[in-house]
A and B are shown apart, each in its own frame.
Chain A
Amino acid sequence: MNFIALKMLVGNRARYLSIVIGLTFASLLITQQSAIFMGLMTRTFGFLTDTALPDIWVMDPKVQYIDDIKPLKETESIRVRSVEGVAWAVPLYKGLLKARLSNGTFQTCNVIGLDDETLIGGPPRMLQGKLSELRRSDAIIVNDIGAAGKLATVLPDGRRVPLKIGDTMELNDHRAVVVGICQVQRTFQSQPVVYTTYSRATVFAPRERKLLSFVAAKAKPGQDFHTLCQRICKTTGLAAYTKDEFKKLTIRYYMKYTGIPVNFGTTVVLGFIVGIAIAGQTFFSFTLDNLRYFGTLKAMGATDRVLLQMILLQAALVGSIGYGLGVGTASALGTLLGRTELSFLLTWQLLLVSASAVMVICAVSAILSMRKVIRLEPAVVFQS
């Protein structure tokens, strides 16, 4: 019976195509929008993705998300180091500082100050230069996108000359020399990222009583992160999060206090509705078209189960084709636009989400159609 079901569907080319196109659009919209959303959300904690070495982040208990810097006392990193189960703990500075460019304009940069000694928390990928060159005087490392974009020198004819090793710039009225170009995750606000040492960052930073942004700590092998976090919390009175908890905290903040999720959620829901409206409706009218033949099959001895199987198979076929085309197109779009400012992150969870969305659309259409077929009296075949 399966080939009959498939032939019934595929043979009706107009209906078949419009169902597939509807589902393709639905899954494209859902996948692409949620992938952009995911990309945007991962950008919010891009710094944490880059700084993968520490297990635990210690900060002021009032910190709400990663860019919400509430400075700590310098000695806190030593106190964290004193907690049982901590292998090491290093201070980190993270802040926005003004850079003065050669053409006189100002650009806010995301400055990250690494522990002077170990340089823990450095960029994961160095394109030019070495991380250890941060030990040179006034040294900074700039990310490639920032160097080629916002920090580039603009010539009178409009060309941009990217910042390169050996160039100097002014950070908050202090001289800084570029000693390396690195590649990091794009930041949410798309600011250039500047790496330097902690003590140099405190020199660059405006005078404040406290300057320590985070203490990044590593657990001793075999330590349970959560117990360790609680222990750090109780011992120092600070908030300690595992890397994933900190990421979640950041995402939760953006989810709660920005309109981003609602915005993307609307589009995803829209995609879903488009899917139901176009694909579901077309599928239903396809069944209505074929009701006469379903009746014939019923009269000729096809049981309800067989007919339901046929409809489910048809729904599954259009579902998988629409889904495949949709996610394929979404991935292709994502890959094409991957080198631009557009954030695109496709995860297997998203593939599952859009698969289940398509499945729901197909199931709804199939259920409507099946109701129609089940209620169909075989006697209709004799009514011309």
Chain B
Amino acid sequence: MADTDNIAVQCKGVTKTYGSGSTLVHALRGVDLEVRTGELMMLVGPSGSGKTTLISIIAGVLGRDDGECIVFGHDFRHMSHYEKTRYRGQNIGFVFQLFNLIPTLSAAENVAVPLIINGVKRREAIGRACEILSRVGLGDRTYSPPTQLSGGQQQRVAIARALLHNPKLIVCDEPTSALDHETGHKIMELLHDVAVGVDRALIVVTHDARIFEFADRIAKMDDGHILSVENSNYRLTNKKKN
């Protein structure tokens, strides 16, 4: 990997423990991982294998104990709490398992939240949110509150939210596990269609084997270690389809 220009995330020997004494849990025992821009990296493995801990550290919402983790040339360890938060707000998009849409806001407003956090005026932010909602096929539901949307629609809103401020890195935590197979599949297609770009890296945590096919590379984890990183051929087949 001599070409550092297209490296989004580089982790070396990252360790993380929770608790202390007899309740000490080793979540990560020295993880090395490299994510390139333009690729969709999938983290798979059984529960408790450390997937969530790893993406939490990569996304800057959790500190690491040891090792090195550089995201687009930045080491969170050398940033203040405030800088970290602002960095997240500008450069990282999040998609959650349970969508985490604010129930009292409309779809468009939910999508607009990251822009508003970054100081964009409300009206402009909502305008841009509406545009991106039509891109994810929800142009007619912009004013619906999340409670009136189906699970798939909610996750589309969440993807729109993660994309709106054009982050360099999108972190998805089990994006399909709350959805049925067909919807999950559609969501992954959508994510792949709208999110993957040349300058952007996606990390998707999942243990849903049915969506492995959407990955460019799959990192298998267990017990705090990366077991293997494999290439997947989805993109090739997809490109063939097109």
A306 to B102, CA, bound (A): 17
Q: A297 — which chain B residues lie within 8 A by C-beta? A: 113, 117
CA of A4 to CA of B116 in the docked complex: distance in angstroms?
A: 9
Number of interface residues of B (CB under 8 A): 34
Q: Is B109 an interface residue (CB 8 A)?
A: yes
Q: Is the CB of B52 within 8 A of A301?
A: no
- Can you list, as one digit per residue, whether each of A300-321 has a CB less than 8 Å from chain B (1) or not (0)? 1111101000000000000000
**Given contacts A299-B94, A381-B94, is CB(A1)–CB(B104) below 8 Å?**
no
- Inter-chain CA distance A383–B96, complex, in Å, is 10
Known contacts being A11-B104, A301-B89, is A4 close to B114, with CB within 8 Å? no
Partner-binding segment picked from B80-88, B181-189, B211-219 = B80-88
B94 touches A4 (CB 8 A): no
CB within 8 Å of A: which B58-73 residues: 59, 61-62
The distance in angstroms between the C-alpha atoms of A1 and B121, with both chains bound, is 10
Closest to A6 in B: B104
In the assembly, what is the distance between CA of A298 and CA of B81, in Å? 11
Chain B hits for A10, CB < 8 A = 104
Partner of A377, one of B61, B105, B109, B114: B61
Given known pairs A4-B116, A7-B104, the reply for A382 and B56 (CB within 8 Å) is: yes
B155–chain A nearest beta-carbon distance, Å: 14
Contact B94 A296 (CB under 8 A): yes
Given contacts A4-B109, A301-B85, contact A382 B61 (CB under 8 A): yes
Contacts of A383 in B (CB 8 A): 52
Q: Are A8 and B89 in contact (CB under 8 A)?
A: no
Chain B neighbourhood of A300, CB < 8 A? 88-89, 94, 113-114, 117
Supposing A377-B62, A383-B52 touch, asked if A302 and B100 sit within 8 A by C-beta, the answer is no
A348 within 8 A of B: no
Q: Does B118 contact A (CB under 8 A)?
A: yes
The residues of B that contact A7 with a CB separation of less than 8 Å are: 102, 104-105, 109
Give per-residue flags for A344-380: 1 if the beta carbon is below 8 A from chain B beta carbons, else 0.
0000000000000000000000000000000001110
Q: Report Cα–Cα, A362/B3, bound state, in Å.
A: 56
A296 and B56 CA atoms in complex are apart in Å by 13
Given known A1-B117, A292-B100, A296-B94, contact A379–B61 (CB-CB < 8 A): yes
Interfacial chain A residues near B77, Cβ < 8 Å:
none
With A8-B102, A11-B104, A382-B55 as given contacts, are A301 and B86 in contact (CB-CB < 8 Å)?
Answer: yes
CA A15 to CA B205, docked complex, whole Å:
35
Say whether B48 faces chain A, with CB atoms less than 8 Å apart. no
Answer whether residue A189 sits at the interface, using C-beta atoms and an 8 A cutoff.
Answer: no
Q: Specify which chain A residues have a CB less than 8 angstroms from the CB of B105 in the assembled complex.
A: 4, 7-8, 11
B39 interfacial contact with A, CB 8 Å? no
Q: Which residues of B contact A4 (CB under 8 A)?
A: 102, 105, 109, 113, 116
Q: How distant is A254 from chain B, measured CB to nearest CB, in Å?
A: 51
In chain A between 264 and 298, which residues have their CB closer than 8 angstroms to a CB of chain B? 292-293, 296-298
Q: Are B97 and A384 in contact (CB under 8 A)?
A: yes
The tally of residues in A whose CB lies under 8 Å from a CB in B reads 27
Q: What DSSP secondary structure best describes chain A's contact surface?
A: helix
B52: chain A residues at CB < 8 Å are: 382-383
Contact in complex: B94, A302 (CB < 8 Å): no
Instruction: Report B-chain residues with C-beta under 8 Å of the C-beta of A298.
Output: 85
Residues of B within 8 A of A301 (CB): 85-90, 92, 114, 117-118
Closest beta carbon of chain B to A256's beta carbon, Å:
53
Instruction: Report if A12 contacts B (CB, 8 A).
Output: yes
CB-contacts of B89-112 with A (<8 A): 89-90, 92, 94, 96-98, 100, 102-105, 109
Q: Is the CB of A303 within 8 A of B94?
A: no
For B104, B113, B116, the residue with the greatest tally of chain A CB atoms inside 10 Å of its CB is B104
By a CB distance below 8 angstroms, the chain A residues around B116 are 1, 4
- Residues of B near A11 (CB, < 8 A) are 103-105, 145
Q: Does A257 contact B (CB under 8 A)?
A: no
Name the distance in Å between A259's Cβ and chain B's nearest Cβ.
49
Write the chain B residue with the least CB distance to A289: B103
A149 to chain B, nearest CB (A): 56
Q: In the docked arrangement, what's the CA distance between A301 and B117, Å?
A: 7
B177-220 contacts to A, CB under 8 A, are none
Partner of A293, one of B59, B102, B118, B174: B102
| B73 CB to nearest A CB, Å | 18
- Give the CA-CA distance A304 to B117 in the complex, in Å: 12
Please indicate the chain B residues that have their CB under 8 angstroms from the CB of A299 in the complex.
59, 61, 88, 94
A-side contacts of B94, CB under 8 Å? 296, 299-300, 381
Inter-chain contact B102/A384, CB cutoff 8 Å: no
Give the Cβ gap from B88 to chain A, nearest Cβ, in Å. Answer: 5
Least CB separation from B114: chain A residue: A300
> Bound state CA distance, A383 and B90, in angstroms?
23
Shortest CB-to-CB span from A19 to chain B, Å, is: 15
Which residues of B10-69 have CB atoms within 8 Å of chain A's CB atoms?
A: 52, 55-56, 59, 61-62
Q: How far is the CB of B72 from chain A (nearest CB, A)?
A: 15
Can you spell out 28 A-B residue pairs with CB atoms less than 8 angstroms apart? A1-B117, A3-B109, A3-B122, A4-B102, A4-B113, A8-B105, A11-B103, A11-B145, A12-B104, A296-B100, A297-B113, A299-B94, A300-B89, A300-B113, A300-B114, A301-B87, A301-B114, A302-B89, A302-B117, A303-B82, A303-B85, A304-B82, A378-B61, A379-B56, A381-B94, A382-B52, A382-B96, A382-B173
Other than the known A1-B116, A12-B104, A382-B52, what 9 A-B pairs have Cβ atoms closer than 8 Å? A3-B122, A8-B105, A300-B113, A301-B88, A306-B117, A377-B61, A378-B62, A382-B96, A384-B98
A residues near B (Cβ < 8 Å) are: 1, 3-4, 7-8, 10-12, 292-293, 296-304, 306, 377-379, 381-384
